[in-house]
Chains A and B, each alone.
Chain A
Amino acid sequence: MAESDSALLETPLASLHRELGGRMVPFAGYAMPVQYPAGIMAEHLHCRAAAALFDVSHMGQAELVGEGAAKALEALTPADVQGLKPGRQRYGLLMTMAGGIFDDFMVANLGDRLFLVVNASRKEQDLALIAAAMPAGVTLRPLPDRALIALQGPQAVASIATLAPGIAALSFMGIGAFDIAGVPAIVSRSGYTGEDGVEISVPAESAERFARALLALPGVQPTGLGARDSLRLEAGLCLYGNDIDETTSPVEANLVWTIGKRRRTEWNFCGADRVRAELDTGAKRLRVGIRPEGRQPARAHTEIQANGATVGEVTSGGFGPSVNGPVAMGYVAREHAADGTPLELLVRGKPLAARVAPLPFHPHRYAR
């Protein structure tokens, strides 16, 4: 699958990435910086210690406007969308008819509309699915002319609050509109690193100026997709296409917490039959954290064995810079899913000793 660079899309920050020495790689059809000169390890550790700026403009943004949007969206997701108060955001799953995961996404109530963020690799399919589920009078508006920038780390909110003090008052998963350095922004206190921080939607034409203003704040360093991946893995967060997909259910993926309480009495979302059955009788396999012994990482698609028999597969794996050791996630048969269960990972034909471990590997530090 050799994609030529000319076929790749660019975000509004492409020239800034190159100026900063970003190493551009293809990701979900976009040329994205996997790292800057500091390197993945330093960028990862900097995010845990100070503040990291990520360009995530490849992700899909959209809004739903009109009476009944929340109710209609609930046909596709087991999340409680109707109960989402103005100024609040929620993580949810879009479902297939068969009870698999079509995508994971963020939905926010902005008062007069719902604001959605979906994965880059799934945005066309997601928007088509959502548009088809909306009744007359509800409009889905894709927002391709908006950039998305994440600022993550223990100093992120204090830094950006010097430009817009109100941001400091947001609690975890709070969202609001702010004027930041003259740029109209939608800011949510959320992220994909396990750290406190914000995700900021800004008009594409202001994105570079805005990113430069953030990079000028004390403690803020540009950070690539490589560190984004190791940060989210240590935080135990799923990557769509690796850890969750159309074959995995919310129960198997250990994402039952995304199902609203009311939704568990109504069972009126796509694929509810499978979810209900698995909640009643237990899923055959479960997503778990895995700690290989020693220093050697086990990557995605590594076979997992117990007593010489195949019991599952690694779906994400690598080296955790903050854990200072290898970390992985994967699916194992339910009887092998308890914390501490010994496993062997078949790395290049050799069994590597490992254990089921609680997630996250690195404690979340959200602003609750």
Chain B
Amino acid sequence: MAELRFTKDHEWIRLEGDIATVGITDHAQNALGDVVFVDLPEAGRDVAEGESIAVVESVKAASDVYAPVAGKVAEANAALAENPGLINSDPTGEGWFFRLEGVDAGSVAALMDEAAYAAFVESAA
């Protein structure tokens, strides 16, 4: 399985072939607490890097989720509508948010790797 890359907004992205899967990090879900609702983008939407395209709501607060790179939304995770708690229980697996197609591999590679993200989280704490 391809390695994860990370943004400063606490999204992760995993590029496999031409499709990139995006979610929020374990650190992000832990900070948010129990997720109760997600607002996901529709398939076919063209998104720019850094564009707010999803919202995650915990008991306490709402947070935006941004596109880590530009692309077109291929699919959103329909399972989250029924079970948004997957974001807490398996943030980098079943708790994925959406998939992007047509992404630039170089843009993904330019994001933080796991060690860099861990250092970023540590420095922000």
CB distance from B117 to the nearest CB of A (A): 21
A 305-343 to B, binary, CB cutoff 8 A, 1 in contact else 0: 000000000000011010000100000000000000000
A40 and B33: CB pair below 8 A? yes
A39 and B60: CB pair below 8 A? no
* A34 in contact (CB, < 8 A): yes
CB neighbours (8 Å) of B60 from chain A are 34, 40, 226, 229, 318
B 72-83 to A, binary, CB cutoff 8 A, 1 in contact else 0: 000000000100
B59 and A295: CB pair below 8 A? no
* B113 in contact (CB, < 8 A): no
Other-chain residue from B37, B55, B81 in contact with A319 (beta carbon distance below 8 A): B37
CB neighbours (8 Å) of A40 from chain B are 33-34, 58-60
CB neighbours (8 Å) of B61 from chain A are 299
A295 and B33: CB pair below 8 A? no
A319 and B57: CB pair below 8 A? yes
**Chain B interface size, under 10 / 10 to 19 / 20 to 34 / 35 or more:** 10 to 19
B59 and A348: CB pair below 8 A? no
Other-chain residue from A39, A297, A321 in contact with B62 (beta carbon distance below 8 A): A297
User: How many angstroms between the C-alpha atoms of A319 and B55 in the bound complex?
Assistant: 15
* A41 in contact (CB, < 8 A): yes
B57 and A348: CB pair below 8 A? no
CB neighbours (8 Å) of B81 from chain A are 295
B33 and A297: CB pair below 8 A? no
User: How many angstroms between the C-alpha atoms of A40 and B62 in the bound complex?
Assistant: 15
User: How many angstroms between the C-alpha atoms of A299 and B55 in the bound complex?
Assistant: 13
Other-chain residue from B33, B37, B58, B59 in contact with A296 (beta carbon distance below 8 A): B37
**A40-B59, A226-B60, A297-B57 known; A319 vs B36 contact (CB < 8 Å):** yes
Q: Identify whether the interface residues of A are mostly helix, strand, loop, or mixed.
A: mixed
CB neighbours (8 Å) of A229 from chain B are 60
CB neighbours (8 Å) of B62 from chain A are 297, 299
User: How many angstroms between the C-alpha atoms of A39 and B36 in the bound complex?
Assistant: 13
**A320 and chain B: residue at smallest CB distance:** B59
* A35 in contact (CB, < 8 A): yes
CB-contacts of A260-308 with B (<8 A): 295-297, 299
* A230 in contact (CB, < 8 A): yes
**A34-B60, A318-B59, A318-B60 known; A295 vs B34 contact (CB < 8 Å):** no
CB distance from B53 to the nearest CB of A (A): 12
CB neighbours (8 Å) of B84 from chain A are 295
CB-contacts of A25-60 with B (<8 A): 34-35, 39-42, 44
**A299 and chain B: residue at smallest CB distance:** B62
* B39 in contact (CB, < 8 A): yes
B34 and A297: CB pair below 8 A? no
**B60 and chain A: residue at smallest CB distance:** A226
Other-chain residue from A35, A39, A226, A295 in contact with B37 (beta carbon distance below 8 A): A295
CB neighbours (8 Å) of A41 from chain B are 33-34, 59
User: How many angstroms between the C-alpha atoms of A71 and B21 in the bound complex?
Assistant: 68
User: How many angstroms between the C-alpha atoms of A229 and B60 in the bound complex?
Assistant: 9
User: How many angstroms between the C-alpha atoms of A295 and B33 in the bound complex?
Assistant: 16
Residue pairs across A and B with Cβ atoms less than 8 A apart, 7 shown, are: A41-B59, A230-B59, A296-B37, A297-B37, A299-B62, A318-B59, A326-B36
Give me the interface of B with A, judged by CB distance under 8 Å: 33-34, 36-37, 39, 55, 57-62, 81, 84
